[in-house]
A = this chain, B = another copy of it.
Amino acid sequence: MREVAVARNRGQDVIDAALALLDSGGLAGLSMRRLAADLDVQPSALYHHVPNKQTLLGRVADEMLATVAWPASGTWPERVAATCTELRRALLSHRDGAELVATAWAFRLGGQAAYDALLESLTQCGELAPAAAGTLLHFIYGHALGEQTHHQAVVAGADVGEGGVDDFSIGLGMVIAGIQVMAARPSRG
């Protein structure tokens, strides 16, 4: 018999520590050097597990989405709404989560799971599904980013306008209503 226990993946420790560091100090506090210090290792050691910081952030983004239970029941607009709400919950459950995932997705270094889940909830929309998923993602990321940024600003002492959960459901309702309208219209093909 060959060795059964494969060498413990140190790479997973790195992204776990990065997520913990994110929660304690935010995206600005998540530096390669601080992360190395938390792992009791030299900064250069990290590059054995990850090619660069951007890729690391992409993996942290994926880790954030890995635990999400994507809804699968209801009519398609209900399922789309539930999927969006669940994504939003995941983003808000970690400090600077929205900025992290939005950036990772923009560079295609992470966040694929969210797009895929949305796309699946939109299969009934046919060829319109990719554009609809993209539009929903822009709204969710943009709204969550604003919310987390303002929370930061409020903590820092500034007083910026309002907007919150109500605001989210209104906006989400608009976008889904728009998707329904477009999906009901016949298109070329």
Contact = CB atoms under 8 A, between A and B. Distances in A.
Interface of A: 102, 106-108, 128, 131-132, 134-135, 137-139, 141-143, 145-146, 149-150, 153, 158, 160-161, 163, 167, 170-171, 173-179, 181-182
A91 B63 CA distance: 32
A173 B158 CA distance: 36
A183 to B, nearest CB: 9
Contact of A139 (B108, B138, B161, B170): B138
Contacts of A138: 138-139, 141-143, 146, 171
Contacts of A177: 177-178, 181-182
Contact of A174 (B106, B150, B161, B179): B179
How many copies make up the complex? 2
A55 B71 CA distance: 41
A134 to B, nearest CB: 6
Given A138-B143, A141-B142, A181-B181, A174 B132 contact: yes
A131 B182 contact: no
A134 B143 contact: yes
B106 A146 contact: yes
A179 to B, nearest CB: 6
Nearest to A163: B134
A127 to B, nearest CB: 10
B146 A139 contact: no
Nearest to A173: B182
A51 to B, nearest CB: 13
